[in-house]
Every structure is written in C-alpha cells, then in structure tokens.
Copies of this chain bind each other. A is one copy, B any other.
Amino acid sequence: MTEVALFGAGRIGRIHAGNVARQAGVTLRYVIDVDGTAAAALAAEHGAKVTTAEAAFADQAVGAVVICSSTDTHADLITRAAAAGKAIFCEKPVDLSVERARSCADAVERAGVACMIGFQRRFDPTFSTLKERLAAGEIGDPEMLVVTSRDPGAPPVEYLKRSGGIFRDMLIHDFDVFRWILDDDAASVYATGSVLTDPAVGSVGDVDSTAVTIRTKRGRLAQINTSRRAAYGYDQRFEVLGSKGMLQAGNHRPTEVTASTMANVSRDKPEHFFLERYRAAYALEMAHFFDCLATGKPVRTSIGDGVKALELADAATASWRDRRIVELG
C-alpha cells in the first residue's frame, strides 16, 4: 500500500485527490494546504488527514507526494520531497525560472526518486492515440505541426501578474506537445503576440494572443496559435503533416447530437475547459504515475521534460519581447 501526501486542495487538487483515491493499492493519507478549510474538506472526502508539509515529509509511511499547490511552491516542495526520498508528481510548471527548475531536476536526480510533471495532454486518449499512430509510421516522416490552443476566457489579472506570462503559463503545454509529437529539438523560435481580448492583460505586461513558429534541428516546422479567449470554448487541436499523410487531433464534444433547422446544421461546442476536456487524461496520468512506481518503469513526462518546455517558453518570451528570432544551441 502506497501512502500519499497531496499539496494543494484547490480545483486541480481535488481532481488529483479523486484519481489518487481510485488507484488500487494506494491511499490518500494527507492533505496539505494553506487554506485549512479547503484542506479539511478534501481530506474528509477521502478519509485522509490534514497535516503540515514538515509532518508529511517526516512520515516514513508516505511513499509519494502529489504537488498541486501554487507555482511558487513547486521548487521548494520538489526539493524537500526529493531529499525525503519521496516519489513526486508535480503539476506544471516546475518553476518560472529555468535555473531553479534545473536545480530541482538535479536534486531529483541526486535523490534517485521518480518525478513526474503533470503534462496531462500526453495522456489524453485522442492525443496519445495520434502519437502512437505517428510513431507506427502511418503518415511517414513528420514534416509540419500546427497547434491550435485557445482557452474559453482569460484568468483574473491578479493571476496573470504572477503567471510568468502567457508563454510560461499557457503555452508551456503546447511546447511540451511540440517536443513529444515531433521528437525533435528546436533550432530557432520566433514568437509574436498582441493584446486583443482585454486591455487589462496588457496593463500587466502580458499578451492574450500569440503566434509562435519553431524550426527544429532537422528542419521541421511547427506553428502554434494561441488565444486566451475563444467564444466557443476550449479549442485544443493539432495536426501533423507527414510524408504519407496527415493526422489530426480534434476537439471533444459533450454529446453527439446534431440539430438541423431552418438556420443551419449544428453540433455541440467543444467541451468547456480543461477539467472536462482532460478528465480522462488526469485519470490516466495518475494511473501511469503509480504504475511506474510499482514497476520501476520511467515516467512518460519527466522533470527533464518540464525543464525543456520551460526553456522553450523562455525563448518565446525573449523573441516576443525583443522582436527577434531566438536561435537555440
């Protein structure tokens, strides 16, 4: 029986807690949160206890930690968990600073513990099936990747202020998708962006709409277009052009109802947001984490992947800010 301490009883924490609880041979033992009420409610729901980080790390019975507290706590908690010999599941990003993220990766490596970063998209059934079929050679060699990544609406400005900017906060997922799907390294990054949906986004020095182009070392081309606001909901698509064809990952809909009227023929909008769209992915990534712990297999989304995605986010941020093409090693 693996006992788990979970940090962060917010929205995503509750998702992860439920998925932890569903794993055979795994018990959610502790919930830690600065908001005692939230921690108590979540703990009660799963028969766990509220405790402190210190107590959780000190408890030898705890074999794994799940970190879904705010971004600024990730690096510290990863480092302490590694030192305590706990296996680690941590939400993205590792940190907003590449240097600190690399330090965390070093700490994890020295400790020899498993550490998985929550790039849940790699576990989405549509995305992972596409990746398998691509890897099986169904469309030959990949040549171009086009990613469309749009949220239904921007988070509060207070959140944006501390988010590290759109490239680190939102596109970090798309940079990971780029790396995973093309299995190639970036040679150059070009990014531009605009404030088109809400002037408040600009007032904190961020943008809400971006266009990124990555050229890989093998000459492949990737384009990512992103917006904080798509009126029709959460738009999560990508397509890969290969030498023998194309694979596309489309949006998921709540139902398969079609209505034909005098106006048009319509279907459902995409599933609303990430909690709905990636529900299966969240369940599958947690099952994968504990399966890796049980079998010793490497995790699919390592802390190294977290560092690499952050490096791309930094490059894109520099490209946008300085209006230049950023050449990478």
Binding site for B on A (CB under 8 A): 125-126, 129-130, 133, 138-141, 143-144, 146, 148, 150, 188, 190, 192-197, 209-211, 213, 215, 219-223, 225, 227, 229-232, 235, 241-252, 254-270, 323-325
Q: If A221-B225, A323-B325 touch, does A245 touch B261 (CB 8 Å cutoff)?
A: yes
User: Given contacts A190-B213, A220-B194, are A231 and B258 in contact (CB under 8 A)?
Assistant: no
Could you tell me the distance in whole angstroms from the C-beta of A312 to the nearest C-beta in chain B? 16
CB of A252 within 8 A of CB of B256, answer yes
Q: Which residues of B contact A325 (CB under 8 A)?
A: 190, 323-325
Q: Which residues of B contact A257 (CB under 8 A)?
A: 126, 129-130, 133, 247-250
CB pair A260–B246 under 8 Å, yes or no, is: yes
State in angstroms the CA–CA spacing of A126 and B197 once bound together: 27
- Between-chain CB contacts (< 8 Å), 11 pairs: A125-B254, A146-B225, A194-B220, A221-B225, A223-B223, A235-B260, A245-B259, A247-B259, A250-B257, A259-B264, A262-B269
CB-CB under 8 A for A265 and B267, given A231-B243, A241-B227, A257-B247: yes
A19 to chain B, nearest CB (A): 13
Q: A219-B196, A269-B265 are in contact. Are A126 and B256 (CB under 8 A)?
A: yes
Whole-angstrom distance between the Cβ of A110 and the nearest chain B Cβ: 39
B197 lies within 8 A of A143 (CB): yes
**Complexed CA–CA distance, A146 and B224 (Å):** 10
- A49 CB → nearest B CB, Å: 20
Alpha-carbon separation in the docked complex, A197 to B269 (Å):
31
Q: Are B259 and A246 in touch, CB under 8 angstroms?
A: yes
| Pair B264/A266 contact, Cβ less than 8 Å | yes
CB neighbours (8 Å) of A260 from chain B are: 230-232, 235, 245-248, 269
Q: Identify which of B197, B232, B264 contacts A267 (C-beta below 8 A).
A: B264
A227 to B250 alpha-carbon distance, docked (Å): 21
Closest residue of chain B to A259 (Cβ to Cβ) is: B247
Whether B243 lies near A250 (C-beta < 8 A) is no
Taking CB as reference atom, which chain B residue is nearest A142? B196
Chain B residues, CB < 8 A from A231:
139-140, 242-246, 260-262
Q: Which residues of B contact A230 (CB under 8 A)?
A: 241, 246, 260
Determine the chain B residues whose CB is within 8 A of the CB of A129 once the complex forms. Answer: 254-255, 257
Residues of B contacting A266 in the complex (Cβ-Cβ under 8 angstroms): 263-267
By a CB distance below 8 angstroms, the chain B residues around A229 are: 243
Structural contact, B256 and A264, CB atoms closer than 8 A: no
Please, how many angstroms separate the alpha-carbon atoms of A270 and B138 in the complex?
Answer: 19
A234 smallest CB distance to B (angstroms): 11
A232 partner, pick from B144, B221, B262, B324, beta carbons under 8 A: B262
Q: Which residues of B contact A251 (CB under 8 A)?
A: 256
Determine the chain B residues whose CB is within 8 A of the CB of A194 once the complex forms: 143, 215, 219-221
Complex CA–CA separation, A249 to B268 (angstroms): 12
Please name the residue on chain B nearest to A208 by beta carbon: B143
